[in-house]
Chain A
Amino acid sequence: MEVVKRQKFKPKEHYNSPGYKLLPFKYLHIDSTNELIVGASGDYVIAPIGSVEAIVKRRPISNEKLMRDLHAKHIIIDEYESGGLDVIANRIRTKKDHLLQLSSLHIFVLTLRCNHTCHYCQVSRVTQDKQSFDLKKTDLDHAIELMLKSPSKFITMEFQGGEPLLAFDLLKYAVETTLSLNTDKRINFVICTNGTIYNEEIIKFCLKYDILISTSLDGPEFLHDSNRKLRKGSSYHDVIAGIQYFRNALGKDRISALMTASSLSLKYPQEIINAYLENGFHNIFLRPISPYGFALKSPKKNYYETQQFLEFYEKAFEYILQINLKGTFFREDFASVILKKILTPFQSNYVDLQSPAGAINSVLVYNYDGYVYASDESRMLAEQNDYSFRLGHVSDGYKKLLTSDEALSVFKNSLNEALNGCSDCAVSDFCGADPVFHHAIQGDAYGHRPTSGFCEKNMSIIKYLIRKLEESTSVRNIFYEWISAK
């Protein structure tokens, strides 16, 4: 390093380099007058249409703000300096850092038995037949062994069904066996329950092992009960009582709720949000119905439904923003997943919007039938006799399962950086890949983006959120609050 000699001050122009090189970037028209230009780092610039053409042709950038923005967002780089590439490399490394934590979510489908008959459910059975619809203990032992072989140091063990609390003895066994075998991992437990089954024994157990409860709430009573059917009585009444019971016993933050939007739900965005607010929730996940089985038979109808869902989503979202602008914190979780990708250098750990896809890379499912599946949706397909994503039996061993043909077909189609229609999409950084969805809907895990509901939904919401971000500081501040809240 050289010591600087006393010198005359030089003007700003002296430090500018008029020429520039291009860094990798992608772009799309975000509205009728502007381009969204996204760099390899995931940072973006919004500039008048024509800006991309100008920089590709290396025209001098006379707009000083735009020139500085393009540099700061790593879209162009000055001619002489290459040190900036190290920073971008670190940005990309940071975004993919979660891959070092391979399969951190482990879903255990303890039973398909359920006390509900929800019309959108693909899997559950109302039956007393424990033999054929409960996970066998020997299979459970194998599954736990597999889970503990995951390279991830932080693991979530999630119990699903059916209704896993109908197999409470098995659940207890699973938690206690896991803890007795675990040597080096931090394990969080989650029970996904319909919220209508609870007693003191369950509560004591949840308290002892610090277990989180995730339940389902579809909206106000008429809507919830229309979607989620109990054999007798109102599911809404039972689940609201259950939520209260769990909250009192475990603490308010130990129970969360998920909603699924049926066709009927689409008519009631505000009512659904009000139901969440009234029941003391500060967040909601606006989630479309999983389009398996029913939707497979009529892709056109599904396409139409994506549009309908988007209309519902925007209406609900605008309403949520109003609530926040009036001073009440209320977060939409799907938006938060995307906003975290847009506003921070980090990834979200939400498994359905990742590249490589969350299937296998972030999640493994141990089904009641003793088989390991690539994702929750993969085991739903199996209920329709489609075993494309069945990796093998729990007794097969970690290596065999993760190198099976089924696993390879997931991996092959799971990088949106390498998928047609995604690789050149400006917002792919904020999106993900979903080979299981495309297999189910389009019959091809690779997928065809122009007709994909996954693509349509995500692109539309991502573009909408970016427009919202740019619209006002107060909305931007709300978004920052969402992604910084726990």
Chain B
Amino acid sequence: MINLSSRGKVENLEGQLVGKLRPSKGIKYGFELVNSLYDPTNEDRVVALVSQERLNSQLPNIFNLSNYKILAEGDVVYINDQGVLDILYRRQSKHNTLFITDQCNSYCLMCSQPPKNKDDFDFHYFRNKCLIPLMDEETEVIGITGGEPFLLGDRMIEILEDLKSQLPQTTIHLLTNGKVFAWNDWAEKMEQFKENLILAVPLYSDNFVDHDYIVQSNGAFRQTMLGLHNLAKYQIHIELRVVLQRPTIKRIEELSLFITKNLPFVESVAFMGLEFTGLAIANKDKLWIEPSEYASALKKSVFLLDRFGIRVNIFNMPLCVLEPELRDFATKSISDWKRSYLDKCEHCSAKSDCGGVFGTSRQLTNEISPL
């Protein structure tokens, strides 16, 4: 696990800054922060110094940071006058994301990132607006996540436009509950981005009762289904996400069949192990299920979709809890900064191929054992 957010001490700073880290010739254990939010025209202006220890400088200086050691050239960070340093982008990572909002129009029982009511749109919007031009053009994939990103409204389209013009080679992987696309004009707006855009949309069940219960929102199933069909009209790439949890596991095969019949246009289906944090903790009794309990149903579902020609991925499941035939479908999906392994994994022959477990999960399956 890597902590992307930390709090140190700060001097000479009022307000907030976003900038890219550059090694400094003068300072041994520190970086210059260049490209300020407040001065986008002067690209090379050094606006702050980020260092291990306090520097004697006229410039804003942030130091005594717990995550200083993971900072590297080319990374983009946010700092403010409270001493906060958030790493917004790590050049060496394949798991960079734009965070849009903590707000959501669903309230999923197992949400790992519980939605908040606070209006945080402006805060994140400006961080993202500053961040996009600072990212490397070679960045392969950028995730976009929330909350529900499309609650940002038209400014979400603006962010996609920025990405398209400034990072034309980058694939955008956007997590959304898809409800907004029940309004066709929103689906149509996606068409201009379709070449580099994948929308990852969760679908928890083949019927409205179970899906609406999971997302705690009446009408959610119909809205998402209609949204998916609207997106299909514009040939938008869609990844469906199915979380493996107790309330919906009974109909997981029916759901797979439902997908082949009603959503044959999706590009891939991801079956996802639970990240056991956030709201999931409060709902443990309802949600928790051991992988062995659904092994057979998962296998049938994966093979059904695979035979039908839909690409299948299994996310967030260590290889050892999967049946051998399913291991080829497993993906190292847990973001590098959240990924961890248990002590006993040190002896596992498959560790280098394995995506590990969520370092964020408060509870892990007992079924992990080295291969």
Task: Give chain A's interface residues, CB within 8 Å of chain B.
Answer: 1-7, 9-12, 14-16, 41, 43, 67-69, 71-72, 78, 80-81, 83-84, 86-87, 90-91, 343-346, 473, 477, 480-481, 484
Contacts and interface: CB of A to CB of B under 8 A. Distances in A.
Given A345-B264, A484-B308, A3 B219 contact: no
B150 A7 contact: no
B107 interface: yes
B285 to A, nearest CB: 11
Interface stretch (B41-49, B60-68, B222-230): B222-230
Interface in B223-261: 223, 225-226, 229, 232, 247, 251, 254, 258, 260-261
A68 B207 contact: yes
B206 interface: yes
Given A12-B247, A68-B206, A4 B115 contact: yes
Contacts of A12: 209-210, 213, 247
Contacts of A2: 105
Contacts of B216: 4, 7, 9-10
Interface stretch (B17-25, B71-79, B137-145, B299-307): B299-307
B250 to A, nearest CB: 8
29 contacts: A1-B105, A1-B150, A2-B105, A3-B105, A3-B117, A6-B115, A9-B282, A10-B216, A12-B209, A15-B209, A41-B262, A68-B207, A68-B254, A71-B208, A72-B254, A72-B258, A78-B208, A83-B182, A83-B222, A83-B226, A84-B225, A343-B260, A344-B264, A345-B262, A345-B264, A346-B264, A477-B307, A484-B307, A484-B309
B206 A4 contact: no
Contacts of A80: 219
Nearest to A68: B207
Nearest to A479: B307
Contacts of A87: 225-226, 229, 262
A228 B209 CA distance: 60
B81 to A, nearest CB: 29
Contacts of B117: 3, 5-6
B340 interface: no
Contact of B107 (A4, A41, A481): A4
Nearest to A74: B262
A169 B300 CA distance: 54
Contacts, number: 106
Pick the most buried of B109, B115, B182, B210: most chain A CB atoms within 10 A of its CB.
Answer: B210
Interface string B84-125: 000000000000000000011111010000010100000000
B309 A86 contact: no
Interface string B181-219: 010000000000000000000000011111011001111
Contacts of A68: 206-207, 209-210, 251, 254
A53 B164 CA distance: 56
Given A68-B206, A84-B225, A344-B260, A3 B103 contact: yes
A80 B254 CA distance: 24
Q: Chain B's interface: helix, strand, loop or mixed, by majority?
A: helix
Contacts of B232: 90
A90 B264 CA distance: 12
Contacts of A10: 213, 216
A84 B223 CA distance: 9
Interface of B: 103-107, 109, 115, 117, 148, 150-151, 179-180, 182, 206-210, 212-213, 216-219, 222-223, 225-226, 229, 232, 247, 251, 254, 258, 260-262, 264, 282-283, 300, 303-304, 307-309
B294 to A, nearest CB: 16
Contact of B222 (A67, A69, A81): A81
B229 A86 contact: yes
B38 to A, nearest CB: 30
Pick the most buried of B218, B260, B307: most chain A CB atoms within 10 A of its CB.
Answer: B307
A7 B107 contact: yes
Nearest to B282: A9
Nearest to A10: B216
B209 A72 contact: no
Contact of B180 (A1, A344, A480): A1
Given A12-B247, A15-B208, A15-B212, A3 B104 contact: yes
Nearest to A343: B260
A79 to B, nearest CB: 11
Given A345-B262, A480-B307, A16 B209 contact: yes
A346 B264 CA distance: 10
A15 B107 CA distance: 13
Nearest to A78: B208
A473 B219 CA distance: 34
B229 A90 contact: yes
Contacts of A81: 208, 219, 222
Given A91-B261, A473-B300, A484-B307, 18 more contacts: A1-B180, A4-B105, A4-B106, A4-B107, A4-B217, A6-B115, A9-B107, A10-B216, A11-B213, A41-B261, A68-B206, A69-B254, A78-B208, A80-B219, A83-B222, A83-B225, A90-B232, A91-B262
A26 to B, nearest CB: 17
B263 to A, nearest CB: 9
B233 to A, nearest CB: 9
A43 B261 CA distance: 8
A2 B218 CA distance: 12
Given A83-B222, A83-B223, A344-B261, A1 B229 contact: no
**Complex A-B, nearest 5 residue pairs according to Cβ-Cβ distance, in ascending order:** A83-B222, A15-B212, A72-B206, A480-B307, A68-B207
A11 B223 CA distance: 20
A346 B308 CA distance: 12
A3 B151 contact: yes
A10 B106 CA distance: 13
A91 B182 CA distance: 17
Nearest to B283: A9
B46 to A, nearest CB: 39
A365 B347 CA distance: 70
A280 B117 CA distance: 67
B222 A480 contact: no
B292 to A, nearest CB: 19
A78 B225 CA distance: 15
Contacts of A473: 300
A91 B260 CA distance: 12
A383 to B, nearest CB: 43
Nearest to A84: B222
A83 B283 CA distance: 30
B72 to A, nearest CB: 36
A276 B209 CA distance: 50
Contacts of B206: 68, 72
A81 B207 CA distance: 12
A480 B213 contact: no
Contacts of A9: 107, 109, 216, 282-283
A232 B360 CA distance: 81
B265 to A, nearest CB: 9
A346 to B, nearest CB: 8
B320 to A, nearest CB: 26
